[in-house]
Amino acid sequence: MAKAGKEKVLEYDVVIEQDEDGVYVAHVPELPGCHTQGNSVKEVLENASEAIELYLEHAKGKVEHPMKFVGVKKVPVSKAASA
């Protein structure tokens, strides 16, 4: 009896923001144009997973990763600059 192979799991970084209407918006820096939204963090993450799967299905192995997401950092800026 053949053993079932384990499915390879890919992980992508997802950036989540909340807009002025309270909607959560997410994008995947490693997959240009891959973005989605949801009414909660849980929903936007579920939608992001689906969006990534659809993106990869459509790309059919042609996804190039020219950049790797490194992170988000806060940068101090003088308050006077925003006036």
Kindly tell me the sign of the dihedral angle through the C-alpha atoms of 52, 46, 72, 19: positive
Higher per-residue pLDDT: 22 or 3: 22
What's residue 60's pLDDT? Answer: 80
Confidence class of residue 65 from pLDDT cuts 50, 70 and 90? low
The mean pLDDT of 40-62, rounded to a whole number, is 92
CA pair distance 56, 58, nearest whole angstrom: 5
Is this model's pTM higher than 0.85 or not? no
Confidence class of residue 70 from pLDDT cuts 50, 70 and 90? confident
CA pair distance 83, 64, nearest whole angstrom: 41
Q: Which domains does the chain have, with CATH numbers?
A: 15-82 (3.30.160.250)
What's residue 34's pLDDT? Answer: 94
